[in-house]
Amino acid sequence: MLVLALVICFIVTVLITPVVKRFAIKIGATDKPNHRKVHQKVMARLGGLAIYIGFLVGFLILQPESSYTIPILIGGFIIIVTGFLDDMIELSAKWKLLGQVAAAAVVVYGGVQVEFINLPFEMQLEFGWFSIPLTLLWIIGVTNAINLIDGLDGLAAGVSSIVLLTITGIAIMDGSMFVAALGVILLGSTLGFLVHNFNPAKIFMGDTGALFLGFMISVIALLGFKNVTVSSLLVPIVILAIPISDTLFAIIRRLVQKKPLSAPDKSHLHHCLLRLGLTHRQTVLTIYAMTAFFSLAAVMMTMATFWTSVLIIFVLLFAIEFLVERVGLISKDYRPMMNFLRRLANARRPL
């Protein structure tokens, strides 16, 4: 049934996306090129509406039952409306954040919370009322992380597809069928949209799609890994390492440069890779490969012992730091680890 839902969601989204494109052009929901954007012509957005329609069709087919179903549907609708309005009239940052908080609050009120984690040596850490702000922070953070990487044709949709494939696979192995059902129908819808969105794109997903995908991925990941051990709680963070890292270092970059956190720039990961000489398509495929690497590491963590997971985390942190310094994600001059390794290599050379 899961495979059937995946295929139907894929076909529905492939067929409905051209209709959404015509609708977007008719109502003026278009993205015009400027100095910050890579595309060179006016493009229809609202592509996220096609993903949402495909998702709803899949929901009707599988009808996954859970106490979380209604809160997730309501939260998803709120985030779709927020994205739709932003694609139409470009909402201010505070109104976009308000929509995200409202959507997140609905699912938190519906019981989607990280209430405790199991620590080594048979101990347990209860979050108490802190579980609410922590959960809100996770949902809003991941929602914006997916939104921020939506800068190249097929980038956000492809990265989201890899993330969803990983989360769904782990959910099936764990027997979490509600999470698997949500993951499958969202994966099928996203892949169907990617047919029209991969370079050269015929339509953009806009904030309608990026916010919806980010919101749903954050909630699905939370449901799949809540109330677990320290190492497995890190699994969704590892799966989402690329968008989370890009967002985190964007914040650091703006703090270092003393710019407002909401100030746009052209120093995100995809911009840095383009400056290194990669083509549009090469950049997207490179980030796909990075996401797949971290997703594979996350899968390994689900099957590893605690200390093996710790080792994997250290290797991943080293890989992230190397990537940051190599591509200049903070600045061209920020290279502490590479400078240290260079000095260490020079010191070991015989005189």
d(CA 286, CA 289): 5
Structure tokens belonging to residue 341? 């390794």
In terms of Cβ atoms closer than 10 Å to its own Cβ (0-12, 13-18, 19+), residue 18 is: middle
Q: Enumerate the known binding-site residues for Mg(2+).
A: 147, 207
d(CA 150, CA 159): 10
Q: Note the helical H segments in 121-268.
A: 131-148, 155-174, 177-197, 206-225, 230-233, 235-239, 241-256
Structure tokens belonging to residue 185? 């129908």
For residue 123, give the H/E element and its range. Answer: strand 123-126
Q: Note the helical H segments in 226-335.
A: 230-233, 235-239, 241-256, 269-275, 280-303, 306-327
Amino acid 247 reads T
Structure tokens belonging to residue 77? 């609708």
CA distances from 224 to 44, 61, 218, 229, 243 (A): 34, 21, 10, 12, 19
In terms of Cβ atoms closer than 10 Å to its own Cβ (0-12, 13-18, 19+), residue 160 is: buried
Between the two ends of the chain, the Cα-to-Cα distance in Å is: 69
Maximum separation of any 2 CA atoms in the chain, in Å: 73
| Three-state secondary structure of 188-221 | HHHHHHHHHHCCCCCCCCHHHHHHHHHHHHHHHH
Q: Enumerate the known binding-site residues.
A: 147, 207
